[in-house]
Amino acid sequence: MPNVTNIPAPRVPLIDERTGLISREWFRYLNNQFQLTGGGATDITLADLALTPPTGAAAEVATLQTAIQDLAVGTPRFEPNPINYGQFYDTTTQTAAAINTAYGMKFNTSSNRYGVYVDPGDSTRIKVTRPAVYNMQFSLQLDKTAGGTGIFWVWGRINGTNIADSASEVRIQGNNAEVFVAANLFVSMSDGDYFQLMWAVDDTSVQVQSKAAAGVVPGIPSAILTMTQVYI
């Protein structure tokens, strides 16, 4: 005879430790019992069960009925897997060896991440493990180490292809002319795709600068990038 109840195995916990909610297997079992007992249309109520103190099997029925009615109050809320996200930064000063040449921004430190990571073989590549639209935000600490005027460009690239209309241009003038740059892009990525934040300069004295902690001010990374899944 088939097991119409589909009762979960004893090793399946009632509460899913990942979400703090009832596990999928137990919900299916309890929902099945709910449907088998009338789907809420039965005339038997908890008040009927309470006419005499339930004992033995009756107590188990009352407990099960309470759990089933609790589920029937509203649609059970299922928590999906945590969204993909990641935060990355670089603690080194990044310089250009040549002008008008594209470089990938490097990230040597990761924090607060799930499903988004730096490629172990290339610290300029940010990879994802889930197809989705991601909100990519970045901030850069620029500096110029010589006089005159220099131009800094930054843009996005996916799988080696530039993202159309994603570039920004910053003009820096004078020695020690620190400039802070920040922007964000929505990017559509698939499992295994990689994102790169690209940059170039027309003067090699323009650099992406990192500074150590000093006094009350914590360390200043040369680049900070966060990527958060916003749509599956």
Rounded-to-integer distance, Cα 106 and Cα 94, Å: 8
Q: Do 182 and 125 have their domain in common?
A: yes
Q: Do 58 and 95 have their domain in common?
A: no
Rounded-to-integer distance, Cα 96 and Cα 115, Å: 31
Q: Do 31 and 90 have their domain in common?
A: no
Which residue from 152, 222, 156 is spatially nearest to 195, judged by alpha carbons? 156
- pLDDT at 69 (0 to 100): 66
Sorting pLDDT into bands at 50, 70 and 90, what band is 28?
confident
Q: How many CB atoms lie within 10 A of CB 47?
A: 7
Answer yes or no: is pLDDT of 51 > 90.
no
Instruction: Tell me the per-residue pLDDT of 68-99, one tens digit each, with 9 for 90 and over.
Output: 666 655 555 555 567 899 999 999 999 999 99
Yes or no: say if 128 and 193 are a contact pair by the CB < 8 Å rule: yes
When divided into structural domains, the chain yields a total of: 2
Rounded-to-integer distance, Cα 137 and Cα 186, Å: 9
- pLDDT at 189 (0 to 100): 94
The residue out of 79, 96, 129 marking a domain boundary is 79
Q: What is the CATH number of the domain that holds 221?
A: 2.60.120.40
- pLDDT at 57 (0 to 100): 59
- pLDDT at 184 (0 to 100): 94
Yes or no: say if 102 and 199 are a contact pair by the CB < 8 Å rule: yes
CB-neighbour burial class of residue 96 (10 A; exposed 0-12, middle 13-18, buried 19+) = buried
Amino acid at 144: K
Q: Do 23 and 97 have their domain in common?
A: no
Residues 116-141 have a mean pLDDT of 96
Q: Do 64 and 102 have their domain in common?
A: no
Residues 33-58 have a mean pLDDT of 61
- pLDDT at 227 (0 to 100): 96
Q: Do 61 and 93 have their domain in common?
A: no
Q: Do 137 and 193 have their domain in common?
A: yes
The residue out of 34, 55, 79 marking a domain boundary is 79
Owning domain of residue 12: 1-79
φ and ψ at residue 60, rounded to 5 degrees:
-65, -40
Q: Which of 37-41, 91-95, 134-138, 205-209 has the lowest mean pLDDT?
A: 37-41
Q: Do 155 and 197 have their domain in common?
A: yes
- pLDDT at 15 (0 to 100): 77
Q: Do 94 and 70 have their domain in common?
A: no
The residue out of 38, 61, 79 marking a domain boundary is 79
Q: Do 89 and 194 have their domain in common?
A: yes
